[in-house]
Amino acid sequence: MSPSDWIKKVKLPTLLATQRIGLTAISVLGLAVFLFSYFTYLKIPDFPAWRAMKDIKPGPVAVEVEGDTKVKGIYYLPSGVRVREFLAPLGIKTPQEEVILKNGMKIEVRSGEVVKMGKMDASKRLSLDIPVNVNLIREDEFCLIPGVGEKTAKAIVTFRRMKGGRIKNLEELLAVPGIKEKKLRELRKYLTTEDD
């Protein structure tokens, strides 16, 4: 039996006119839902901060904006950007216009104005690979550094207290029990003695 004979013998069901109309309607409706969701939900959202910052290219300086503003978050800026250049396009007023933004800075905004400029929390700085000052972080923050447990953190804080609250050079940490050359090399990625 050839395939053509088989087709003649077997009567395949044909679609009625109403079924064809229904199938066409469902197909058109499905296509409309797909196109609507594609153009509504999948397009890139338009945030005010993105519009305002279109002329500033990303760079190595991480700056956090915090407070009662719609543009809060962490921004990556090129070196040498002044506070005014960064905040004016975002609609934020600042009295410290000529201050150059540094890596790890935090800008607190209230009612559209800068109220305080400081440093990001140690946890944020460490997660962004920004070194923290060994003289300023707390014992619990030392534990956020890979390879530093509670015992080592406590030993570093005790050592710092013995030094009058100030470690001048990271090499001094070699005097802390449990810190040898290898561990000090690892700690250099996360710690500094400089104020930025």
SS3 of residue 132 by DSSP = strand
What pLDDT tens digit does each residue of the chain (196 aa) get? 566 665 566 565 666 778 888 888 899 999 988 888 777 766 555 555 555 555 556 678 999 999 988 888 899 988 888 888 888 888 888 887 788 999 999 999 988 888 889 999 999 999 898 999 999 999 999 999 999 999 999 999 999 999 999 999 999 999 999 899 999 999 999 999 986 5
pTM beyond 0.85, yes or no? no
User: How far, in Å, are 10, 16, 34, 80 from residue 21 at the CA level?
Assistant: 25, 9, 20, 66
Domain-by-domain residue ranges, the chain? 14-43, 48-120, 130-192
What is 130-192's CATH superfamily? Photosystem II 12 kDa extrinsic protein (1.10.150.320)
Q: Do residues 141 and 155 touch, judged by C-beta distance below 8 A? A: no
Backbone angles phi, psi at 150, to 5 degrees: -60, -40
